[in-house]
Amino acid sequence: MQIEELSTVLEPKPLPNFVETEYIRGVTDRALAYIAAGFPVHFRGKSGTGKTTLAMHVAARIGRPVVIIHGDEEMSTSDMVGGQYGYRMRRVVDNFIHTVLKSEEDMKTSWVDNRLTTACKHGFTLIYDEFTRSRPEANNILLSILQEKMMGLPAARGKEGYLKVHPNFVAIFTSNPEEYAGVYRSPDALRDRMITMDIDYADRETEVSIVSAKSGWDARDAEKIVDIVRGLRDSDRCEFAPTVRACIIIAKTLKVMDAGVDGNSGVFRTVCTDVLSSVTSRAGNKSNADKVRKVVEELIDRYCLPVASIASELDSEGPEFGVKATEPVAPTKVKHRAAAVEYVACAA
């Protein structure tokens, strides 16, 4: 039986706009240390926290070719290991002597090694993205690979029944928390064989750097977008907390629309409310959407309006605030509405 390989192998390269802050560097260095000690790494975290990007970055640092598998409910063991995907037929007709016709036919099955087998055989880096979206029984093949460094092969493949895993083989897993829709619980035996690193929301410096690098906005404008999203996340007023992905969507959309990061701009306000209402709600409940829009409007007023405008607004609300806008103040001097009140009061 003939054995073929049809897997696509990637050559990872560092992204030109990849942001490596102290936070990213710390996660990367720990992951590489676990891998160097001989253990697979599992990045677990909420959607949009950068798990797959981190996995690709770690793989690029390792420097070996990469094979990627995406978890799916319909995936079976054969989809990872391989299977018989066709036949090869040969027919020989011998008519050397014109009065004699000799014909021979034979047919052989073709076995095709899939991605997991290819990675184990050649020592490539395996990235198993969202592995808990595959059924647990499909992942049982990984138990012996990660622990005994042996891969059991179906009898239909022929030759040896086991494949010794290449010493350079590395496995990196990513997954969402178990409460996410479409996610299966990870088998305890499999989870025990890997080092799980919980990836949470990045710090403000990292998020600002990511948004600036991905969208092309300068740091000051990226800070405003990040502060709005982080403010909504910390408000506990939404069904799902927005991630840095929402910041990137807003920033890139504004670039395409040639609109500024300006609290006085109707386009900016509309884009922010559209994106953040979308990413923070699953069912599209109107009351929740209205609640989110109200919070977003308040956050835009806090972070994106010039201080002079805020002071004028406070003056119009009544003398009980005891403040007066006597001179314009640079918007970078303050961070929120309360700070604006205090600063203008001191100036008066």
Task: Report the CATH number that the domain containing residue 36 is assigned in CATH.
Answer: 3.40.50.300
232 found inside a domain: yes
94 found inside a domain: no
Distance CA 9, CA 314 (A): 61
One domain for residues 192 and 122:
yes
One domain for residues 194 and 237:
no
336 found inside a domain: yes
One domain for residues 187 and 283:
no
Q: Write out pLDDT tens, residues 199-250.
A: 999 999 999 999 999 999 999 999 999 999 999 999 988 888 999 999 999 9
One domain for residues 188 and 245:
no
pLDDT band at 51 (very low <50, low <70, confident <90, very high): very high
One domain for residues 178 and 280:
no
pLDDT at res. 181? 80
One domain for residues 138 and 260:
no
Q: Write out pLDDT tens, residues 94-142.
A: 777 767 677 777 667 677 788 999 999 999 999 999 999 999 999 999 9
Instruction: Give residue for tokens 């996660």.
Output: 27
Looking at the predicted structure, is the pLDDT value of residue 325 above 70?
Answer: no
Last residue of a domain, one of 178, 199, 220: 199
- For the chain, percent of residues with pLDDT exceeding 90: 55
pLDDT at res. 284? 66
Q: What integer is the mean pLDDT of 61-89?
A: 85
pTM: 0.77
One domain for residues 150 and 208:
no
One domain for residues 143 and 36:
yes
Strands in 102-113's sheet, in edge-to-edge order, are: 2-5, 102-113, 82-94
CA distance readout (Å), 262 to 5, 128, 201, 216:
54, 41, 26, 16
Last residue of a domain, one of 135, 166, 199: 199
- For the chain, percent of residues with pLDDT exceeding 70: 79
Distance CA 68, CA 122 (A): 14
pLDDT at res. 79? 86
Last residue of a domain, one of 153, 180, 199: 199
pLDDT at res. 308? 47
Distance CA 236, CA 230 (A): 11
263 found inside a domain: yes
The number of distinct structural domains making up the chain is 2
102 found inside a domain: no
One domain for residues 222 and 279:
yes
pLDDT at res. 90? 74
One domain for residues 311 and 177:
no
pLDDT at res. 70? 94
One domain for residues 68 and 151:
yes
86 found inside a domain: no
99 found inside a domain: no
Q: Residue 53 in contact with residue 127, Cβ under 8 Å?
A: no
Q: Write out pLDDT tens, residues 269-299.
A: 999 999 999 888 876 677 788 889 999 999 9
70 found inside a domain: yes
One domain for residues 268 and 252:
yes
Which structural domain, as residue segments, surrounds residue 158? 2-81+116-199
